[in-house]
Amino acid sequence: MIALWIAVGVLVVLGLSATIVSQRRRPRRGAPSVTAPARAEPARAAPAGREEPKGALPEAAPEPPIAPPALRERLGRTRGLFAPLRALGGRADVAAAFEAAEEALLRADVGVETTDALLAELRRTQAHRDGAAGLLGALSEQLVAVFAENPDRALRFDNEPGVVNVWLFVGVNGVGKTTTIGKVALARRTEGRSVLLAAADTFRAAATDQLALWAERAGTEIVRGAEGGDPSSVVFDAVQRAKARGNDLVLADTAGRLHTKVNLVEELRKIRRVADREPGRVTEVLLVLDATTGQNALAQARQFTEAVGVTGVVLTKLDGTAKGGVVIPIERQLGLPVKLVGVGEGTGDLLAFDPGSFVDALVGL
């Protein structure tokens, strides 16, 4: 009996999914229109009064780094993956040295493909001539060279008058988007930018409250939407409000979403489209990645880039034991630059990414 009714249920699902899939394949008629809802209440946040109009900034000046690169000290606490290789010393057996290097790279989440490619290159250049130390040195040079392929790590900002810059923060659930936005807001405020936060994560319970607390800390305004409301409308409102109040930068938080959920990724596309409407201009789409993530980060980077054109990566939680080595294949295969790294829960624990320090911390020189 049970088999019968499960069969019915399952077949209904099958039939329905077929219906839905074929509906999805049909081209959409007409772009979805966005209406500004009346529900975005005026910001309840804090002393946003000090918005000095900025003097003439140089055209398209690159953003100064958020903090001096203190990455190395912050990462020093993690265990040394390359210690076994280093311990082999100068008279190391070649096979053993390469095996130790392979093991270290794999354990750093660099991934099989990239590890193989890196090691093949090292073999070709006879990097092991000078023993383990030579191999290690050559490897870190090689890693630095990977990062050198994507030299532009400055956060993009458009100084054209009348334009509201929008930085969109995207990523899967629980990587630290909201926290990152809070830190970025604070850093920009300190620099004298007038920032507005858009709480477009209307899905996760209390996400808006979390961002509002950050807004208070950073002394910025926040535009909120109703829980479960349309996130695009929140971004739309935020851009309009920023225009009206003369804010030049909107930081938009979005709900964490798995890159495999087609409808949620579609929603993100719409957010981006709406944010890009005059006077808004999306100048950064930052993918927030958790350093503990393994090879799946590549899939995330690939699919978010395809959907909303990611312009840079924020690597969070680098203060833990994870090395975040997966950014190496991301830089190498996708050409996506890491722009910021998160190294703690404190307000200042967000640093500009510095390839040298990162590689040093990884290899442990």
Partner 1 sequence: MFDALSERLERVAGRLRSRGRISPADLDEALAEIRTALLDADVELGVARHFVEAVRERCSGEVLAKSLTPGQQVIKAVHEQLIDALGGEALRLTYASRPPTVVLLAGLQGSGKTTAAAKLGRWWKQQGRNPLLVGADLQRPAAVDQLRVLGASAQVSVFSQPGDPVTTAVAGVEEARRLGRDVCIIDTAGRLTIDDALMDEVRRISARTEPHYTFLVIDAMTGQDAVATARAFHQTLALDGVILSKLDSDARGGAALSVKEVVGAPIVFASTGEKLGDLDLFHPDRMADRILGMGDMLTLIEQAERTMDQDVVARSADKLFSGRFTLDDFLEQLHQVQKMGSLGGILRLMPGMSKEIRQAADQIDDGQVSRVEAIVRSMTPTERADPAVVDGSRRVRIARGSGTSTQEVNQLLKQFKEMQKMMRGMGPAAQGGAPGGRLGRLAAARGLGGASAEDSLAEMLAGRAPAAPRTEAPRPPAGSKGRGGRNKKKGGRVTPPKGR
Q: Where in 100-159 is the site for partner 1 (CB under 8 A)? A: 103, 106-109, 111-112
Three-state SS at 158: coil
Distance, in Å, from the CA atom of 179 to the CA atom of 175, rounded to the nearest integer, reads 9
305: contact with partner 1 by CB under 8 A? no
H or E segment to which residue 280 belongs: strand 280-290
- In whole angstroms, how close is the CB of 129 to partner 1 at the nearest point? 27
Nearer Cβ to partner 1, position 243 or 259? Answer: 259
Q: Tokens 């009996």: give the residue.
A: 1
31: contact with partner 1 by CB under 8 A? no
269: contact with partner 1 by CB under 8 A? no
Residues with Cβ within 8 Å of 323's Cβ and at least 6 positions away in sequence, in order, are: 78, 81, 107, 108, 109, 291, 361, 362
Give burial (CB, 10 Å; 0-12/13-18/19+) of 363. buried
- In whole angstroms, how close is the CB of 14 to partner 1 at the nearest point? 5
Distance, in Å, from the CA atom of 152 to the CA atom of 338, rounded to the nearest integer, reads 9
Nearer Cβ to partner 1, position 75 or 242? Answer: 75
Distance, in Å, from the CA atom of 136 to the CA atom of 145, rounded to the nearest integer, reads 14
- In whole angstroms, how close is the CB of 20 to partner 1 at the nearest point? 5
209: contact with partner 1 by CB under 8 A? yes
Nearer Cβ to partner 1, position 64 or 294? Answer: 294
Among the listed ranges 6-14, 132-140, 149-157, 193-201, the one in contact with partner 1 (CB under 8 A) is 6-14
Whole-angstrom CA distances from 117 to 142, 222, 305 are: 11, 46, 24
Phi/psi-derived region of residue 30, left when phi > 0, alpha when psi is between -120 and 50, beta in every other case? left
Nearer Cβ to partner 1, position 205 or 244? Answer: 205
349: contact with partner 1 by CB under 8 A? no
Nearer Cβ to partner 1, position 68 or 346? Answer: 346
Nearer Cβ to partner 1, position 54 or 77? Answer: 77
Query: Which residues in 54-93 contact partner 1 (CB under 8 A)?
Result: 77-79
Out of 76, 89, 174, 335, which residue is the one contacting partner 1 (CB under 8 A)?
Answer: 174
280: contact with partner 1 by CB under 8 A? no
Query: Which residues in 210-229 contact partner 1 (CB under 8 A)?
Result: 210, 212-214, 227
- In whole angstroms, how close is the CB of 248 to partner 1 at the nearest point? 26
Q: Using an 8 Å Cβ cutoff, are 332 and 146 in contact? A: yes
- In whole angstroms, how close is the CB of 5 to partner 1 at the nearest point? 4
175: contact with partner 1 by CB under 8 A? yes
Among the listed ranges 134-142, 155-163, 197-205, 232-240, the one in contact with partner 1 (CB under 8 A) is 197-205
Phi, psi of 352 (to 5 degrees): -70, 145
- In whole angstroms, how close is the CB of 91 to partner 1 at the nearest point? 26
Nearer Cβ to partner 1, position 61 or 206? Answer: 206
Nearer Cβ to partner 1, position 26 or 91? Answer: 26
Give burial (CB, 10 Å; 0-12/13-18/19+) of 336. buried
How many chain residues interact with partner 1 (CB under 8 A)? 76
User: What residues are paired with 222 via a beta bridge?
Assistant: 197
Centre a 10 Å sphere on the Cβ of residue 67 and count the other Cβ atoms it contains. Answer: 15
Centre a 10 Å sphere on the Cβ of residue 208 and count the other Cβ atoms it contains. Answer: 24
